[in-house]
Amino acid sequence: MVNELLQDDWDAENIVRQKDELKVKLLRAQSVVAECKAGLADLDRRLEGRAISLPIDERHRNSAANN
């Protein structure tokens, strides 16, 4: 019985199938990571743009309040 279990663990077809399944999972995970990185980079760019434009907006408000 133990020998049969060990043989099943070393079944070449099973190992190849598991390896292929793991490769697919890895590719999906890498795709998700890349998508997240792109989204974060986009948000960072947008935040930087707002940080730069915020002082300008405040100047406009201050100028309007003074007029």
Residue type present at position 55:
P
**Reported confidence tier of residue 59, pLDDT bands at 50, 70, 90:** low
Percent of the chain with pLDDT strictly greater than 70: 66
Averaged pLDDT score across all residues of the chain: 81
At 65 the pLDDT is 63
For the chain, the distance separating the N- and C-terminal CA atoms, rounded to the nearest angstrom, is: 91
The mean pLDDT value for 6-17 works out to: 78
44 against 62, higher pLDDT: 44
pTM: 0.57
Residue type present at position 50:
R
**Reported confidence tier of residue 52, pLDDT bands at 50, 70, 90:** confident
| Spacing of C-alpha 49 from chain mean position | 22
Instruction: Output the six-digit token pair for 60.
Output: 């406009």
